[in-house]
Structure 1
Amino acid sequence: MKNTIIALLVISTCIACNQSTQTRAGNSTVIDTSTTTIPTDQEIIDAWTYLYGRYLVIQQENIDINKEKVGYNKIKYNPIGSAAFVNPNLDVACLEAWIATDSSHAVILNVPRITGRYYTAQLLDGWGEVITNINEHNYPKHPYGKFALVIKGTNPSIPSDAACINLPAGKIKMLARVELKDSPAKAVKLQKQFTLTVPEGIRIDSPLAIPDFTPGKPIGGEIFDKADMVIASYPDLMPKAPQMKDIVRKVTVYANSGTTARQYIDSVIKAKAIPEFLADAKGFGTQNGGWSVSYAAGHFGNDILARAIINYGGLWANEIKEAIYFVGLTDSNKELLNGSNVYEIKFPAMQLPDSMVNAFWSVTLYSTPDYRVVDNSLKRYGRNNISGMKMNADGSLSIVLAPTMPKNIPQANWLPTPMGKGFALTFRMYAAKPDVLSGNWFPAPIEKK
């Protein structure tokens, strides 16, 4: 706080004197305010939040391409049941790819014919916004076959039997999922039938180099060092993107005006922007009974905070009409979940999750803060609509969470918890019905027994 006050005094003095050049005042640089507009703290915070959403996507691209060496236009078929990565989804066979094309070429995504189980090929842009989901619901006249991925406004040659999908730029992320249902082997067979047809000669830019940062220590004032390059690296279709870009440029110009300006911007980010962001990320969205949910996922409108938080905590989130995620970090009394306790999630007979989806649902238990599955003797990491759970006498359904199996409950209804450790829950609903999407239905509260 003391440094912030000093910085404000220096800036105020600079305004009063209307300096025309940079001069030295002790060890500080006095800013030329005759040509520089000083941003407000809120503008600095907003500019940081806006850029951070894009930085998180760039960071993941660098990890995938430069560290994991997955390459562009190559599908990675994730093994089913694998829990060796963060926040695994064990209900589907997943595949993913960074797809890159250019103005002269189209990449063809080949989607197999799938019936009787949920599937989707989700395409996302460089800001984490969903472009489209390829499936039978969104493309009823062409639910499978060839899909030509073309940069909007270009006219490369494409097969006559391909559906054309316009992309905002040359790079996108693709994630596809096939429901395991009761036949995982068939799901894997279908998973491997998603393929890419890639022409030769595509020009692909390398990922933009950015400073290192972590979830616990987000990037600070250096986020503005390459602000112009970051903004130019991918078009943003958010309606108020032009306004946000103007604010970013205002802060960037100020940051480049002298040492004191850079120090002040960094102090605002570290004292306000980052702490407020991390606090918001912990209690984000609509909350009820220990669960929280964001209805903005996938398509964020003008909500820069929602986009940044979802990119931070669950990059590549789908639009809610395809998959809506309820996150449980506390019980119904807002106390953090603890693996030593016993909890019950009891769905009334008229509010069963099976009746609230057109596809399927699941609840998965993760460790915190790393969001990995918690090992147990049953190798049981979640429950879903095909787990064989038993109904209560009144038609309700109870899922019981406890470190050891409680008495008088069916084993199928028990989800093991880590003794003495915190944990989190993710309740996924695929193709949820209108009552869920409108907020009229929430998972049953997480009640401590």
Structure 2
Amino acid sequence: MRADNFIKKTEIIKKNIFKIWISGILFLLTFPSFSAVQPTEKEVTDSYLYLLGRYLVIRQENQDVNIEKNNYNKIKYNTPGLTEFANPNLDVVYLESWVAVDKNNGVILNVPEIKDRYYTVQLLDGWGEVVANINERTYPKHPYGKFAIVLKGSNPKNIPKDALKVEVPFNKVKMLARVELKGTPDEAVRLQKRFTLEAPAGIKIEPVVNIPDFSNSKLIGADIFLKVDEVLKSYPDSMPKAPEYQKTVKKVADYMKSSDEAKKYIENIIQTKTIPEFMKKTTSYGVEKDGWVATYGAGNFGDDIVLRDSINFGGIWANTTNEAIYFGGTKDAGSNQLLNGNNTYKIVFSKDELPDLMADAFWSITLYNTPDYHVAKNALNKYNVNNMTKLNKNKDGSLTIWAGPELPKGAFRENWIPTEKGREFVLTFRLYVPKEVVRNGSWTPPAIQKIK
């Protein structure tokens, strides 16, 4: 009898302990502030910067699809010389599209034959990483004709036998094609219009993720953590350390949701430290020399979240170094001060290191105001110089490029890029199909010198 009572009491104690344990778990789930662990300042910053790369691409997709109404699998043929958008390359004519595929359907891209003129069709993923370039360098045996853009691992039935498959990692990619103007814009436009897409009906297309509005001058704050699961699910990330970053992102998001005080903690770090430090890096991140910053990792960023953010922030859709290298002229080499439209600057290329000698395709130097990266307004509507500009050389064979609010005394007008007074600016030096000495960092542009 005593044994039976002991067993009954033991069972009752076990049940009560179990109830207490369950109640404790439910309490913690109901009040997450008791279970969420406060992230460190570094964890908040790294998580913010990791997510920002995706947010910047989502913002652009929303601009393209929902605001400008450029539907998926429809090509937008841009007019040469357009300057309304950020960081335009005025040496090429663009065509662009968001290409959407699914496991049952591919999209056919028709590329015309192009000779003696630079062109490439660049495909990028939802984080700004380059997936492929289609041109005579990457596909020498099939540089033009039909290309089938298909989901990786799929075998759609709508693919013609004469189409070359190009696999993409997920259901959407950004397509951006460039055709060099090369002094004959009418011919470039004729070739541009011969790029076409063929997409079957019925492709399942996910809508753009709905995120808060933000701009380059006012970046998103702690609200970047409100839709973590949806944003991360919307596109896989090829970055090797993506799983590690995403784990920390979820930790920060969980903590932020735990209380108003937790959100204030996150917001304070972002606004007072993360964003100000990032904004500084947008003009100086990379290899710095003589006022220039080189971004040798553009297009394939590895684990570098700051570089990916900087590119998506200031020059979204940058290509890989085999296709192009971008030098950002941000500072006067002498004073290390940011370039300002009130001042006049010069860049002197020696006769043995002229820009024409550093690229197999073409080069250009374009001036953009910051932080919006739009061209600097001026009465001449002149925003750049390039290999097609009739530039004047100095008597010793060197070449001087000028930037300033007025034509400098003794300067050649053709060699001058006007600045906008009162605005800070950057000079983007593009080298298309750069020489090996450029790609390996042996050669960098000459110093940007302020004229006193």
Structure-2-length-normalised TM-score: 0.89
CA drift at 1:149: 0.7
Aligned to 1:10: none
2:375 equivalent to 1:356: no
- In structure 1, the partner of 2:140 is 140
Equivalent-residue separation in structure 2 for 1:337 and 1:119 (angstroms): 32
Shift of 1:21: 4.8
Corresponding residue number in structure 2 for 1:403: 405
Shift of 1:76: 0.7
Residues 1:166 and 2:182 aligned together = no
Change (3 A) 1:379 1:251: closer
Say whether residues 1:153 and 2:181 are aligned partners: no
Contiguous gaps of at least 5 residues in structure 1: 1-17, 24-28
Stretches of structure 2 lacking an aligned partner (at least 5 in a row): 1-23
Cα shift at 1:269: 2.1
| Residues 336 and 251 of structure 1: CA distance in aligned 2, closer, same or farther (over 3 Å) | closer
Q: Secondary structure at the match of 1:96?
A: strand
How far is 1:182 from its partner?
2.1
Label 1:156 to 1:326 Cα distance change in 2 as closer, same or farther (>3 A). same
**Residue 423 of structure 1 corresponds to which residue in structure 2?**
425
**Cα RMSD between the aligned structures?**
2.2
Aligned residues between the structures:
426
Q: Which SS does the other structure have where 2:427 is aligned?
A: strand
Q: CA deviation at 1:420?
A: 5.0
Name the counterpart of 2:15.
none
Match of 2:193 in 1: 192
With over 3 angstroms needed to count, the CA separation of the structure-2 counterparts of 1:44 and 1:164, relative to structure 1, is same
User: Which range moved further: 394-403 or 195-204?
Assistant: 394-403
CA contact (8 A) 1:106 1:148 kept: yes
- Report the CA distance between 1:373 and its aligned residue: 2.4
Structure 2 distance, partners of 1:246, 1:421, is 41
What is the letter of the counterpart of residue 383 of structure 1? V
> Which residue in 2 is equivalent to 1:14?
none
1:376-387 mapped onto 2 (5 Å cutoff): 376-387=378-389
Deviates more, 1:222-231 or 1:339-348: 339-348
Q: Identify if the C-alpha distance between structure 1 residues 425 and 152 changes in structure 2 by more than 3 Å, giving closer, same or farther.
A: same
Residue in 1 that maps onto 2:203? 202
**Residues of 2 paired with 1:241 and 1:214: CA distance?**
25
Alignment CA distance shift 1:116-1:257 (3 Å): same
Q: Which amino acid aligns with 2:325?
A: I
How far did residue 341 of structure 1 move?
A: 3.0
> Letter of the aligned partner of 1:427 in structure 2?
F
Deviations 1:204-254 (A, max 9, x none): 111111122221222222212110111111111111111111111222222
| Aligned position for 2:297 | 296
Distance in 2 of aligned mates of 1:172 and 1:60 = 12
Change (3 A) 1:178 1:30: closer
* Greater alpha carbon shift after TM alignment, 101-110 vs 416-425: 416-425
* Whole-angstrom CA distance in 2 between matches of 1:390 and 1:192: 34
Letter in 2 for 1:243: E
Q: How does 1:20-35 map to 2 (within 5 A)?
A: 21=27, 31-33=33-35
Name the structure 2 match of 1:84.
84
What's the counterpart of residue 306 of structure 2?
A: 305
- Give the match for residue 3 of structure 1: none
1:227-306 paired onto structure 2 within 5 Å = 227-306=228-307
Alpha-carbon separation, structure 1, partners of 2:187 and 2:32: 68
Cα drift, residue 38 of structure 1: 3.4
- Counterpart amino acid of 2:190? K
Moved more, 161-170 or 239-248: 239-248
- Please state how far the C-alpha of 1:335 moved relative to its aligned partner: 2.2
Q: Is the 1:104–1:154 contact (alpha carbons within 8 Å) kept by the matching residues of 2?
A: yes
Pairing of 1:92-111 with structure 2 (within 5 A): 92-111=92-111
1:110 counterpart SS class? strand
> How many angstroms apart in 2 are the aligned matches of 1:249 and 1:77?
40
CA displacement 1:267-296 (0-9 Å, x = unmatched):
222232222222222321111111112111
Contact 2:121–2:178, Cα closer than 8 Å, also in 1: yes
Does structure 2 conserve the Cα–Cα contact (< 8 Å) formed by 1:19 and 1:31?
A: no
Letter in 2 for 1:134: I
Match of 1:342 in 2: 344
The match for 1:437 among 436, 439, 448 is 439
Partner of 2:63: 63
Q: In the alignment, is the contact (CA less than 8 A) between 1:30 and 1:260 conserved in 2?
A: no
**Is the partner of 1:99 in helix, strand or coil?**
strand
SS at the partner of 1:308?
helix
Greater mean deviation of Cα atoms: 83-92 or 417-426: 417-426
Aligned-pair CA distance for 1:419: 4.2
Shift of 1:64: 1.5
Deviations 1:397-434 (A, max 9, x none): 11123333334443322223334543321111101111
**One-letter identity of the residue aligned with 2:141:** K
The 3-state SS of whatever aligns with 1:349 is: coil
Between structure 1 and structure 2, the one with the greater Rg is 2
Q: Shift in Å at residue 179 of structure 1?
A: 0.5
* 1:355 counterpart letter in structure 2: L
CA 1:414–1:309: 2 relative to 1, 3 Å:
closer
Tell me the distance in 1 between the aligned counterparts of 2:421 and 2:222. Answer: 41
Q: TM-score, normalised by structure 1?
A: 0.90
Contact 1:20 1:32 in 2 (8 A): no
Matched position secondary structure for 2:249: helix
